[in-house]
Amino acid sequence: MSDLFRDPASSTAHADSAVSVLSRRLILQGMGASALMAASGCTTASSGFDALNLDTTSTGSIRPMRPSISVDAQITSPDVMYAGLTDGAYAIPEVPYQKIKPQFRRQIVVDPTGEAPGTIVVHTKECLLYLVQPGGEAIRYGVGVGKSGFSWSGRANIQYGREWPTWTPPREMIERRPELVKWQNGQPGGLDNPLGARALYIFQNGQDTLYRIHGSPEWWSIGQSVSSGCVRLINQDIIDLYNRASKRNPVVVI
């Protein structure tokens, strides 16, 4: 039938239907384009699609939340951490923490190591030790490390620990410092003992490396390369680490 002979009402209905179909197609095409642009990280200027209340935010702009940091007076309050204390038969003196650089005081940080919880990680160049915690945190301690030529690195584990350990200088050390011959059979534990209040013994493949993580009465040496290869901590810090570590803790020294 010729358009000249169509019913005007019918023609209007057909026209409205065609416009409706075309509008739906345009909207669907627009939604698809918006989705593609969002997926590609693009952003769009304000358009007629704003009326649809579509979320066109690029997922690339959404950053993961930084892990929260715990608060613990035993780890985050210097006057508590470094107060004097009685440990067994020994009175450990207070440490003047104000004289220690803040980065070398015990603290909780976001774990930078990527190691499993329980792992002890020593960064010798930074003079820092990390005890990795669950949840993306680590307890960080300032340490003194070995002088050039005396350091050790590698992966190992803590074989065992000792409170107020006996220190026996290696033969090579006695040769360098003959005055230590008096301790060739061992220096009993005490406030003047170079191993301090605690020692953790590092073994690799079942063999003693002769390197230790231990305490020291020389708090001023923390943050320096001064030892004969061992990793030394403030006595209050080694007691804290000793209480948190256990036999067979993995150790990474880098």
Residues 185-224 have pLDDT tens digits of 888 999 999 999 999 999 999 999 989 999 999 999 999 8
Average pLDDT of the chain? 78
Q: What is the pLDDT of residue 74?
A: 78
Q: What is the pLDDT of residue 152?
A: 79
Q: What is the pLDDT of residue 57?
A: 43
> 194 exposed, middle or buried (CB, 10 Å; 0-12, 13-18, 19+)?
buried
214 catalytic per annotation: yes
DSSP string, 43-110: -----GGGGGT-----GGG-PPPPPP----HHHH-HHHHTS-EEETTEEEPPP-GGGS-GGGS-EEEE
- Taking the CA atoms of the chain, what radius of gyration do you get in angstroms? 33
- Residue 34 contacts residue 24 (beta carbons within 8 Å): no
The low-confidence residues of the chain, meaning pLDDT below 50, are 1-64, 66-67
Check: pTM over 0.75? Answer yes or no: no
Q: Which of 14, 42, 123, 230 is catalytic?
A: 230
Q: What is the pLDDT of residue 75?
A: 86
Q: What is the pLDDT of residue 36?
A: 34
Q: Which of 42, 123, 127, 214 is catalytic?
A: 214
127 catalytic per annotation: no
